[in-house]
Amino acid sequence: MNATQVKTSPAAELRARLGHPVVDGDAHVIECDFAIYDFLRKVAGPEMAKKYEDSQKSRGPSRYRQVWWNSPSGPHTIDRATVMLPRLYRERLDEAGIDFAVVYTTHGLGTMHIADPEMRRAAHRALNMMYADMFAGVKDRLTPSAVIPMHTPEEAIEELAFVKNELGLKTVTINTEIRRDDALTSPAMDDGHRYDPVWQACIDLKLSVACHNRLQGVGTTRGSPSNYIFNHLGGFSQGSDFFCRALIFGGVASRFPALKVAFLEGGVHWGAALYNSLFEYWEKRNMKQLEANLDPEKVDIDLLEQMFARYGNDYLTPERIRANPHHPNSAIPGPDNRAVDEWAESGIKRPGDIRDMFAQRFYFGCEADDRMNAVAFDTKLNHYKIRLNAMLGSDIGHWDVIDITNVLPEAWTLVDDELLTTDDFRDFVFGNAVDFHAGLNADFFAGTVVEDAAKKRLAEKTKKGRGR
């Protein structure tokens, strides 16, 4: 079948009925290894390219089952070709009912974890140069996301400046799970403020930041050597939850209120759970409540003794509880028994600060077939009656999208089932993606087919904000 012969589809028909564009916030490119090696030779020479190629071929079997049969095949081979060839991809977007797509790495998800510093930086640079070249002629409908190494702040800042100033790319994917000597750390937590220059560089360069990490593998609860589905289920959600908690409790979200972050491919259900749980933790474990209700020094020992005398037995005696009123479960923190304010670094001073972080800074990439997308728009469920910033992320290019023309109709089923309104759907497939990317860079959609609609959306948001 010739792709150019297919001009109509259920997705195209649905798009024609909508009164707004559709922006895919998370499509994928499938990179050809031979092309990557070509750009590696340009970046770091033939020896590094050969070393990298050998490393890819000699990885051997993993200790846990990883993805296999990951791309469309058989009657959907055209979809495989589509995500490998940007010009073909652009040609088929109308058939998919999509006006504009932000395209993320596939190969780079592994590149982010390369331990060798020289190889890691060269591989990132090669991928970014290749993406800029591949998508140069389709900027009106597609834009690629650069990949940023994050093992050190210095390498991150260098690549951020390169992709923006030299390549003209507009959005980045960062590594949020840095593995060193079997330890897992986040650049947003427990590392002082060492990465603060990275977050500031993203703001200064007007680069929207996305993450695509997943918690799975040896040493995790998703490390089965025999079952990929077991390992994959919930992996992206947990990876996103890990980084979001780090951004909050590491203070990044508070220190850099202009920074916007998208957590991709994990859906929004985990975000709703985290958002609402934070209020419960704040209510019970802010410093005022801790000192009033949980301070071990304020235990009424006389009352304990009276209760043990009245309701105890031969081993639960008043004498024993008076001698040991602070049993191990009291968990007195620190050698000096003083309380620790675990909210201090977060900058959260009141419940409204939690609301503002989620309402203004966090975005959630959701696949079309996920019914839990509806929780983002449930104002009866979410504290302060907010709607979380869920945005369509198709994952086109990977195994869970067999047919690219099914994505938009699949997303629409939540409207058919009365779980989303048409206004919710507009925000889901268009508005929230505009807010994420253009909120930091007003020119993000300049020169694209959605430029005018994006400007109108931003003007509406500005007017609404002033009216509050």
Q: Which pLDDT tens digit goes with each residue over 93-128?
A: 999 999 999 999 999 999 999 999 999 999 999 999
2-32 core/surface letters (b: 16 or more CB in 10 A; e: else) = eeeeeeebebbebbeebebbbbbbbbbbbbe
What is the identity of the amino acid at 49? A
pLDDT tens digits, residue range 390-449?
Answer: 999 999 999 999 999 999 999 999 999 999 999 999 999 999 999 999 999 999 999 999
Q: Are 24 and 422 in contact (CB under 8 A)?
A: no
Q: Are 24 and 394 in contact (CB under 8 A)?
A: yes
Mean pLDDT of 235-250: 95
CATH code of the domain made up of 3-283+351-467 = 3.20.20.140
In this structure, what token pair is assigned to residue 153?
């702040």
End-to-end CA distance of the chain: 54
Residue ranges of the alpha helices (H) in 185-261?
196-204, 228-232, 235-249, 252-255
For residue 2, name the pLDDT band (cuts at 50, 70, 90).
very low
pLDDT tens digits, residue range 199-208?
Answer: 999 999 999 9
Closest among 95, 99, 17 to 450, alpha carbons compared: 99
For residue 260, name the pLDDT band (cuts at 50, 70, 90).
very high
Ranges in the chain annotated CATH 3.20.20.140: 3-283+351-467
